[in-house]
Amino acid sequence: MGQAFAKKLKENDYDILLLDVREPVDKVVIGEFLKCDISSENDVSGVSDYLNSKNQEIYGLINNASCQLEGLTDELENYRIDTYRKVLEVNLVGSFLLVKAVIPFMKKQEFGSIVNIGSIYGVVAPSFEIYEGMNITSPLVYSVAKAGSIHFCKWVAAKYGKWNIRCNAVSPGGLADSQKGGPEFEKVYSSKIPLGRMVNSTEVAELVNFLISDKSKYITGQNILIDGGWTAW
């Protein structure tokens, strides 16, 4: 999704800064890349120094990092505590550190939009029957992390609204262009959705672009579901 967001924002003349603990796999990426472990306070401090050196306005921050570790989808009774902790560090500590880094810039300029990427599974429990016989499942730590991310945005929105700083969450359903279950899983999943299909990253990017822009200047503290009606049942 990150590159889908970057492409859409670039089309609207935003400069893009990408943060990741790993170098990009593709030589050509949209946006300027800065290596950073977002769960490291020292690394994020380096990002703050970098932003200070640029002397530019910060229109938005998108918290979109994920953590795919060995054992991520293990059963709860066999789950590794180090895996659980690391996923929470990346999703919750990482988002906290990045928001902490950009808030001083946004307070000074008196505007800014923060978007946390949540999930429908941060709102409702998974329907585990769709995973039966498949090679994937929905791990507990993913739901916990996304629920925390959604509520974090509400706290930030309430606290910093007086500086015209907005914070919202975008919670997609299953992504057609990044799901790992294959065509059979997509068919089963789509049968549960009123619109009859999974969402695409480009559609999520349209919503994120809207929330970063001034077109959404009176929207804050919201979790916007983009799930084709999954949670309407």
CA nearest to 153, candidates 116, 98, 100: 116
CA nearest to 102, candidates 118, 113, 88: 113
Write the DSSP string, 8-31. HHHHTT---EEEESS--SSS--SS
CA nearest to 38, candidates 107, 101, 103: 101
First to last CA, the chain: 26
Radius of gyration of the chain (CA): 18
CA nearest to 115, candidates 73, 172, 77: 172
Q: Which of 84, 121, 142, 160 is catalytic?
A: 142
CA nearest to 141, candidates 126, 156, 152, 155: 126
Q: Does the active-site annotation cover 84? A: no
- Residue 43 identity: D
- Cα separation, 56 vs 155, whole angstroms: 26
Residues annotated as catalytic are: 142
